[in-house]
Chain A
């Protein structure tokens, strides 16, 4: 078994972390669980913000005492006890989510855990990544400061150039032909609706994994929360200026985690933007496929005549690759294990689970293993 330099990077880092934290608390062993936990922080802090957020750009009835998205955010920040903290937690947890996802992604990639029987996890992961990035962007629209206005206009300009469906896309996005009071309700709906849709995408992400590790140990959660609170304390969110539809803001601060696409849009123009986005996405989606499918997995095989239908292999398979089907007529047993070859990793866990020698890896029969053990046990020790 050869390891390449990329895997080596993670092996060395993880060994180091194991020395510091023991394997039980090694954050890299919770690479998937951490983004999941951060998602819950976001849901909760988002819920609290939602309680006071008003998704309009203006409110005629209160025009003297303007109540709109911007002022409601200001109210949360300045008047609600700990409102500024909740808001900052929500923002920085979003950044942390992107960081955690990227670490997760790079780890599964570099340690070769992303292709063949894992393609569903990878592709659904890309969908999750795009969703999270887009949710983050919509978060920045909601504040309705000058940056929000600029982002909205830039997005509209990008949507309008899409052939054929450009206009309907814009009308959907703005909830009308132009920016209106209804626009922000749509933004809020996209932001929250997509956030909950993450749960559906995650279900697909997990469907081929038995018992995905989705809860980091509490100790790690506390450390993560401490880091987030430290950032909140040292970098409170600064006040911005309310969006004015009659103004033409032209520059803004770029949040490197969520707003990079707008930097691309600013630099390359709409066509360049779409081409680069499509190319990047396609490249990410293709990563599991290239040319590199070195050797195909030889999937496990059930010896039908020996299988007692005990389901041990079915329970232990880490990739949900075994299905228990009704045993053929005439069998003494009720069930029969069957392997779904396209899901099988060839790991052999099912071999270890079977007390009846009824399941085998074709390239390493357990009878051969036993033979080798026997022979080595008998050989004269030097």
Chain B
């Protein structure tokens, strides 16, 4: 199941309108291997969902919300953006390869843009070596940092559509100020901040469940 190259899109139902290019089940008809799961808001995306997608065999994940600043629910897209950047807990686990996660912030009218970006990303993912079955496998270290660029920084001017692409760069430290600057373009996610508290709490949780049983 590892070489199917499925890319899962976690999409806000108010962001880029994909109804014309997707069937009910969530298969995108114009981009090969692209699947779409709709949510009321991109803010509902849990990092666990992204991890789950990789665990289930997806080879890439796109998170799509509305333009930053236009969230119908005020702050949803900012929240998931900060989670992906590691500025807000809970964040993505270190074990998730950052270059396989793409964030797009596109308004309802920007379906064309969505299609183009998604196509490029799927092609990029297809070019990567297949993920090992267990997502626990360590992320590709340093070399991933630059090669990822084409997928996340396509030709058109990047500033226009505020997107954060999350790529692998395990040593990067992203300060809030940096992140602010990088808002419109690609961003190296800090992979360290944000994870620890969540994991500690996870330990608590399992204890909690023991107790319940």
Q: Tell me which residues across on chain A come within 8 A of B1, comparing CB atoms.
A: 378
Q: Tell me which residues across on chain B come within 8 A of A377, comparing CB atoms.
A: 6, 8, 35, 53, 56-58
Q: Tell me which residues across on chain B come within 8 A of A351, comparing CB atoms.
A: 44, 46
Knowing A347-B73, A348-B39, A348-B41 are in contact, say whether A12-B109 is a contact too (CB < 8 A): yes
Q: Which of B5, B76, B80, B105 contacts A381 (CB 8 A)?
A: B5
Q: Tell me which residues across on chain A come within 8 A of B44, comparing CB atoms.
A: 347-349, 351-352, 361, 364, 366, 369
Q: Quick check: is B33 within 8 A (CB to CB) of the other chain?
A: yes
Q: Tell me which residues across on chain A come within 8 A of B105, comparing CB atoms.
A: 23
Smallest CB-CB separation from B68: which chain A residue?
A23
Q: What's the least CB distance linking B153 to chain A, in Å?
A: 16
Q: What's the least CB distance linking A100 to chain B, in Å?
A: 17
Q: Contact size class for A?
A: 35 or more
Q: Interface size of B by Cβ–Cβ distance < 8 Å? A: 68
Q: What's the least CB distance linking B195 to chain A, in Å?
A: 10
A12 to B109, CA, bound (A): 8
Q: What's the least CB distance linking B205 to chain A, in Å?
A: 5
Q: Tell me which residues across on chain A come within 8 A of B56, comparing CB atoms.
A: 373-374, 377-378
Interface string of B14-25 (1 = CB under 8 A from A): 100100000001
B26 touches A318 (CB 8 A): no
Q: Tell me which residues across on chain B come within 8 A of A347, comparing CB atoms.
A: 40-41, 43-44, 72-73, 76
Q: Tell me which residues across on chain A come within 8 A of B32, comparing CB atoms.
A: 381-382
B109 touches A11 (CB 8 A): yes
Q: Quick check: is A113 within 8 A (CB to CB) of the other chain?
A: yes
Q: Tell me which residues across on chain A come within 8 A of B58, comparing CB atoms.
A: 373, 376-377
Chain A binder among B95-103, B144-152, B154-162, B171-179: B154-162
B108 touches A3 (CB 8 A): yes
Q: Quick check: is B192 within 8 A (CB to CB) of the other chain?
A: no
A355 touches B202 (CB 8 A): yes
Interface string of B35-77 (1 = CB under 8 A from A): 1010111011111110011001110000000011111111110
Knowing A349-B79, A373-B56 are in contact, say whether A22-B162 is a contact too (CB < 8 A): yes
Interface members, chain A 295-352 (any B CB < 8 Å): 305-306, 308, 310, 312, 316, 318-319, 332-333, 345-349, 351-352
Q: Tell me which residues across on chain A come within 8 A of B43, comparing CB atoms.
A: 316, 318, 347-349, 352
Q: Quick check: is A247 within 8 A (CB to CB) of the other chain?
A: no
Interface string of B88-119 (1 = CB under 8 A from A): 11100000000000000101111000000000
Interface members, chain A 263-296 (any B CB < 8 Å): none
Chain B binder among A13-21, A142-150, A163-171, A234-242: A13-21
A23 touches B162 (CB 8 A): yes
The 9 closest A-B pairs by CB, nearest first: A348-B44, A29-B69, A347-B73, A349-B43, A377-B56, A381-B33, A376-B35, A377-B58, A318-B74
